[in-house]
């Protein structure tokens, strides 16, 4: 990892601390747009993005978005915010898939599968509150399935490390409750679905 990448990680942690202060002071809803605008400007100016930096950046943003959605009233939620969240989950899943194709260890990111699932559930909750957001549901459903497929393809799931099989079972139960999979489709075998880039 280059010194430039290490420096970018340092800068990213500064943004993490700023968002965390907003969370602690209950000002995240008021500060989110302006601070995110500043964060995205910084991100767009990075010339060479290391894959781990990309995954960490979108993971950070995903956790912040999840927290934001917990504090927002449904009338405050807007279409582009949910769409941005779906883009974050897709970027993380694509990054994890790339690690797998490179035969790299994904165990560092094992916690992100459940974080993605919880964020998608939060996004889906808001989608179902407003007809304007209905077009996002099919995209959300696809990402639920992608997330479970990627999880089941990890060595941690296959070897049942970090309680990954338990997490996978919890996710399957949620998807069954949502009507996205049927009881006869619930299986512990690995699915053969790949995550493709949309751009």
HEC string of 102-153 equals CCCCCHHHCCHHHHHHHHHHHHHHHHCCCHHHHHHHHHHHHHHHHHHHHHHC
Give the distance, in angstroms, between the CA of residue 101 and the centroid of all CA atoms in the same chain.
19
Q: Judge contact between 31 and 72, C-beta under 8 A.
A: no
What's the pLDDT tens digit per position in 109-128?
A: 888 999 999 999 999 999 99
pLDDT of 190 > 50? The answer is no
pLDDT of 188 > 70? The answer is no
**Mean pLDDT along residues 6-15:** 94
Each domain of the chain, given as residue ranges in start order, spans: 50-185
Q: What is the pLDDT of residue 66?
A: 97
User: Mean pLDDT for the chain?
Assistant: 88
Give the distance, in angstroms, between the CA of residue 193 and the centroid of all CA atoms in the same chain.
18
pLDDT of 199 > 80? The answer is no
Q: Judge contact between 2 and 51, C-beta under 8 A.
A: no
What's the pLDDT tens digit per position in 133-147?
A: 999 999 999 999 999
Task: Grade residue 2 by pLDDT with cuts at 50, 70 and 90.
Answer: low
Residue 121 to residue 175: CA distance in whole angstroms:
10
Q: What is the pLDDT of residue 45?
A: 95
Task: Grade residue 160 by pLDDT with cuts at 50, 70 and 90.
Answer: confident
What's the pLDDT tens digit per position in 55-114?
A: 999 999 999 999 999 999 999 999 999 999 999 999 999 999 998 888 877 777 888 999
């Amino acid at each position: 990892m280059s010194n430039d990448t290490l420096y970018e990680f340092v800068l990213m942690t500064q943004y993490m601390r700023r968002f965390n202060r907003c969370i602690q002071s209950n000002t995240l809803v008021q500060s989110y747009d302006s601070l995110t605008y500043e964060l995205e400007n910084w991100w767009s100016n990075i010339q060479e993005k290391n894959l781990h930096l990309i995954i960490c950046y979108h993971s950070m943003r995903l956790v912040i978005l999840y927290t934001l959605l917990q504090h927002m009233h449904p009338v405050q939620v807007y279409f582009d915010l949910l769409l941005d969240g779906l883009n974050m989950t897709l970027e993380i899943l694509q990054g994890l898939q790339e690690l797998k194709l490179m035969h790299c260890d994904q165990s560092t990111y094992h916690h992100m599968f459940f974080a993605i699932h919880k964020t998608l559930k939060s996004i889906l909750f808001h989608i179902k509150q407003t007809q304007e957001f209905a077009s996002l549901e099919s995209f959300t459903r696809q990402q639920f399935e992608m997330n479970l497929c990627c999880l089941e393809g990890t060595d941690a799931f296959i070897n049942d490390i970090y309680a990954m099989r338990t997490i996978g079972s919890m996710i399957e139960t949620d998807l069954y409750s949502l009507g996205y999979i049927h009881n006869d489709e619930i299986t512990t075998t690995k699915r053969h679905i790949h995550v493709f880039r949309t751009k």
